[in-house]
Structure 1
Amino acid sequence: MRETAAPARLTGPRLALLVGLGILALAAASIALTGLATGYIIYIVNLVLVAIVLALGLHIVIGECGQFSLAHAAFYGIGIYTAGLVTNLAGTPFWVSLLAGGLMAGLIGFFIGFLSLRMRDIYLALSTFAFGEAMQWLFLNWTSVTGGPNGLNIKPASVLGFQLLSDRAAFPLVLAVTLIIVALVTVLHVSTLGRSMRAVRESEIAAGSVGINVVRMKLTAFTLSAFIAGLAGGLYTTFSTFIHPDSLGFQTTIIILTTVVVGGMGSLVGAIGGAVVFGLMSELLRQVPSYQEMIYGAILILFMMYAPRGMFAFIGRR
């Protein structure tokens, strides 16, 4: 009987080439689309780009390092409120507010990770879930800072002294930052650090036996994930001038988690593709808010049962 060759997986240079081509295609499609689209369509494109950044942040901690975190929406909210408050109080340029949101979320992520990442599996999930719920309570009740249930109005972001007063004006910056994050996460994936994280994901005992500091890898992944989520929050403030705590609850975490799992857990291409699909789907489902949880739950169950490798698993083979 003739043996069949096993499918080759995309690794190293092949993955970098594929993602590079995807970046060019994403940039070209976005620019072409916004040249003809209405303001609402451009707003949706901006939301999808932010969803890509969010998914890549969660991909680092879950897909690369195999640690289950349910606090991603909290770090996203920290980035939004930090960037918004810095802009409101100091009138700083876009880049300063963006980095402030990322650094604040990364710093808090490092602290929470230091406390939580000695736990494993369900205990880690519960501890990060508790942190996410605590931050949701803080966003809702710290009225003097966050605006509480009334929400927070954010001044328009500015670049070189010019205010970004429309979604179309903010789009080039949102696209540029998204492409930079995609490129950096791709570099991480093919680097020694990325391989060490994946070794921890596959077996902590085996990784430790070859000299990998397991706790350090987990903490690095958690901090980078929180930092990128904070950047996504800062990016959101470039085209949105209002934020309400209700949009940062546990449902947002579930949507991001579904994006990564259904797109292809452990797959960089899957995280990006899932973010595009679910970024568009979440906007469509705004018309039926009562059924969103049921629809996302059904999708997640079906994929876990019949396609556990994810929606874009076929791209990982040749």
Structure 2
Amino acid sequence: MKFMTPDRWALTAAALLLLVLPFAVSGYVLYVVNLLMVFVVLALGMHVVIGEAGQFALSHTAFYGIGIFTAGLINTHWHPPFIVSILAGGLLSGVLGYVIGLLALRMRDIYLALATFAFGEAMQWVFLNWEGVTGGSNGMRMEPAELFGYKLTNDLQAYPFVVVLTAGMLWLTIALSRSQYGSSLRALRESDVAAMAMGINVKAMKQSAFAVSAAFAGIAGGMYTLFTSFIHPESLGFQTTIVVLTMVVVGGIGSVRGAVAGAIAFGLLSELLRQALSIQELIFGVILMGFMMFKPKGLFADRKQRVGRKAAQGAHS
């Protein structure tokens, strides 16, 4: 008789919780859950480029913002089914991510991090100053997302769609990780030279990792427009990148379950500290530095290694 694995138990419990949640909680709690789902997709996107491909990129929030503004503008001016606007935001972000991936062909490590950081800062400047499109420092009000004429005007109405989209992106991440493509990304992460010797097109894989990661961020931005009607560029700064990076690093670089757990834990912490931004920056900075120094593989990566060691010991006993 086969028993369910801990991961399957966790997925089953999470599915049951998400199923009953709308009947048991208030609108604000649903807003927080919707926001956590967006963070999960953001963390999964960063997991692809950093955890799977080993490319240290700090431009994630820029693509998230591109997804928000693209989907928001399409919803406001043309009112298509929201899946169209979300896919448009993901596609535009993915194309720009592929272009930014050219940096990875010429830079690595700290130089790549600095270059992608500069791109993220440049995009926030664009968000803040392109007043005709983004509203500039006044922010942008967006029309509710629609599905065949049905408008999503509150968190409860958006909730099932956000959950389904998040589940789809999680499934896609796991499928990519278990595929030949995921194996090629991990070979690239370990060594460019070894990956090239194995016949892997290193240049194409690096650019595709940036494109997929950026598309995830763009889709997360589109999901955000399902339950909010306003966006301010100040929320799309480097601080958001640090929050998402903390989720991935603390959860465990290279671990899908770590990215999900980190997104939920630090998404909640970020919401709790929303009224104290200066303290939030300090806390996340200390946590990130502490894990980078003393536990760089994160929580769930170590768990995976412990499980592997126990299985090996059991096989030898």
**Cα offsets for 1:154-203 (capped at 9, x unmatched):** 10011132101110000000000000000010000010000000001011
Contact 2:104 2:207 in 1 (8 A): no
Q: Which residue in the other structure is 2:121 paired with? A: 133
* AA aligned opposite 2:250: V
Contact 1:23 1:179 in 2 (8 A): no
Structure 1 range deviating more: 245-254 or 306-315: 306-315
Decide whether aligned partners of structure 1 residues 108 and 241 sit closer, same or farther in structure 2, where only a CA change above 3 A counts. Answer: same
Among candidates 298, 307, 312, match of residue 286 of structure 2: 298
Contact 2:103 2:115 in 1 (8 A): no
C-alpha displacement at 1:208, in angstroms? 0.7
2:207 and 2:252 map into 1 onto residues whose CA distance is 23
Superposition CA RMSD, Å: 1.5
C-alpha displacement at 1:25, in angstroms? 2.9
Contact 2:99 2:207 in 1 (8 A): no
2:272 and 2:194 map into 1 onto residues whose CA distance is 45
Q: Secondary structure at the match of 1:40?
A: helix
Q: Which residue in the other structure is 2:68 paired with? A: 80
1:254 aligns with 2:204: no
Structure 1 range deviating more: 107-116 or 144-153: 107-116
* AA aligned opposite 2:36: V
Q: Secondary structure at the match of 1:169?
A: helix
Q: Which residue in the other structure is 2:183 paired with? A: 195
* AA aligned opposite 1:41: V
Q: Which residue in the other structure is 2:260 paired with? A: 272
C-alpha displacement at 1:84, in angstroms? 0.3
Q: Percent identity?
A: 56
2:30 and 2:19 map into 1 onto residues whose CA distance is 10
Among candidates 65, 71, 78, match of residue 53 of structure 2: 65
1:236 aligns with 2:189: no
Q: Which residue in the other structure is 2:86 paired with? A: 98
Among candidates 1, 4, 12, match of residue 24 of structure 1: 12
Decide whether aligned partners of structure 1 residues 179 and 22 sit closer, same or farther in structure 2, where only a CA change above 3 A counts. Answer: farther
Q: Which residue in the other structure is 1:167 paired with? A: 155
C-alpha displacement at 1:21, in angstroms? 4.9
Q: Secondary structure at the match of 1:311?
A: helix
Structure 1 range deviating more: 41-50 or 203-212: 203-212
**Cα offsets for 1:198-223 (capped at 9, x unmatched):** 00101111111111111111111100
Contact 2:53 2:189 in 1 (8 A): yes
Please, what TM-score do these two structures have when normalized by structure 1? 0.92
1:118 aligns with 2:106: yes
1:294 and 1:117 map into 2 onto residues whose CA distance is 34
Contact 1:84 1:154 in 2 (8 A): yes
2:47 and 2:248 map into 1 onto residues whose CA distance is 7
Contact 1:118 1:215 in 2 (8 A): no
1:43 and 1:253 map into 2 onto residues whose CA distance is 21
Superposed, which structure 2 residues align to 1:1-12 within 5 Å?
Answer: none
Contact 1:61 1:67 in 2 (8 A): yes
1:152 and 1:254 map into 2 onto residues whose CA distance is 24
2:104 and 2:189 map into 1 onto residues whose CA distance is 17
C-alpha displacement at 1:314, in angstroms? 4.8
Structure 1 range deviating more: 268-277 or 301-310: 301-310
1:173 and 1:18 map into 2 onto residues whose CA distance is 27
C-alpha displacement at 1:114, in angstroms? 2.3
**Cα offsets for 1:16-55 (capped at 9, x unmatched):** x765554433222122222210000000000000000000
2:77 and 2:65 map into 1 onto residues whose CA distance is 18
The answer for unaligned runs of 5 or more in structure 2 is 308-317
Decide whether aligned partners of structure 1 residues 244 and 258 sit closer, same or farther in structure 2, where only a CA change above 3 A counts. Answer: same
Structure 1 range deviating more: 106-115 or 232-241: 106-115
2:22 and 2:288 map into 1 onto residues whose CA distance is 32
Structure 1 range deviating more: 20-29 or 166-175: 20-29
C-alpha displacement at 1:292, in angstroms? 1.1
Q: Which residue in the other structure is 1:313 paired with? A: 301
C-alpha displacement at 1:126, in angstroms? 1.2
Contact 2:253 2:301 in 1 (8 A): no
Q: Which residue in the other structure is 1:147 paired with? A: 135
Structure 1 range deviating more: 303-312 or 291-300: 303-312
Decide whether aligned partners of structure 1 residues 128 and 272 sit closer, same or farther in structure 2, where only a CA change above 3 A counts. Answer: same
Superposed, which structure 2 residues align to 1:34-49 within 5 Å?
Answer: 34-49=22-37
Q: Which residue in the other structure is 2:312 paired with? A: none
